[in-house]
Structure 1
C-alpha cells in the first residue's frame, strides 16, 4: 500500500529522470532507484546498474524532455523525448514506473522513433507542439 500521494510520486519521477538522464549524476540517482529495481524494457539490462550502465554508454549530449505525466496510486506514466543519444531520430517514450518505499522500483516502456513532418500522416508532432529540426 502506498504511503505517498500521486503528486509526490510524479515529483519523485521528474527529479529522478532529470538527475540521471540530464545531469548524469549517478551517485545522486542511486537515492531514487531501488537497489532491487526491476527492469522490463527490452533495451536495458536488468536492475538499476543495467539502466545506469546504459546511460553511461550513450553520448553526453543525451537530453530528456518531459511532457505529460500521470499518476495513479503507486504508478506514474511519463510521455517524454530522449534526444542526443547518437541515433538518427529522437525516441518518444511512454515510461511506466512503479514506486515502492519512495523509490522507483519497477519500469516498463514503449519507445518509438520521432517522426518528421514529412513522415507524419496525421500532420501533427508526436511530442510537444513542433516537429524535430
Structure 2
C-alpha cells in the first residue's frame, strides 16, 4: 500500500520531469529516479542512465509542458508535450510512472507526433487549446 498521497506523487513526477527535461539538471535528477529504474519505452535505452543519455543527446531547445495529470496509488499518468526534440513535430505523450519509495521506479509511454491544424481530422489540437505555430 502506498505511503504517499496521489497529490504528492503527482507533484513528484512534475518536479522530476521539470528538473530533467527543462532544467537539464542531471545531478538533481538522480534524486528523483530510482537506481533500479525500469524503462518500458521503445525510444529509450534501459535504466535511469538510458533516459539521462537520451536527454543529453537532444538539442538544448528541449522543452516539456504538462497538461492533464492523474494519479491512483503509486501510479501517475501525465499528458504532455515534448518540443524542441530535433524532429519536425513535437511529441505528445501519455507517460505512466510508478512511484516506489519516493522515486520514479518504472515508466511506460505512448508517443505521437503533434498534428497541425491541417493534419487534424477532428479539427482540435492534441495538446492544450491551440495548435502548434
Give the TM-score band, short-chain normalised: over 0.9
Once the two structures are superposed, what CA deviation does each residue of 1:94-117 show, in whole Å capped at 9, x if it has no partner?
000000000000000000000000
CA distance in 2, matches of 1:30, 1:82: 20
Residues 1-133 of structure 1 aligned to structure 2 (within 5 Å):
1-133=1-133
CA distance in 2, matches of 1:95, 1:60: 22
* Runs of 4 or more consecutive aligned structure 1 residues displaced over 4 Å after TM superposition: none
Q: Which residues of structure 2 form unaligned runs of 5+?
A: none
With the length of structure 2 as denominator, give the TM-score of the two structures. Answer: 0.99
With the length of structure 1 as denominator, give the TM-score of the two structures. Answer: 0.99
CA distance in 2, matches of 1:66, 1:107: 16
Total equivalences in the alignment? 133
CA distance in 2, matches of 1:45, 1:58: 14
Report the 3-state secondary structure (helix = DSSP H, G, I; strand = E; otherwise coil) of the residue aligned with 1:69: strand
Report the 3-state secondary structure (helix = DSSP H, G, I; strand = E; otherwise coil) of the residue aligned with 2:106: strand
CA distance in 2, matches of 1:21, 1:86: 14
CA distance in 1, matches of 2:24, 2:18: 8
CA distance in 2, matches of 1:55, 1:87: 14
CA distance in 2, matches of 1:42, 1:89: 18
Once the two structures are superposed, what CA deviation does each residue of 1:25-48 show, in whole Å capped at 9, x if it has no partner?
000000000000000000000000
Q: Which residues of structure 1 form unaligned runs of 5+?
A: none
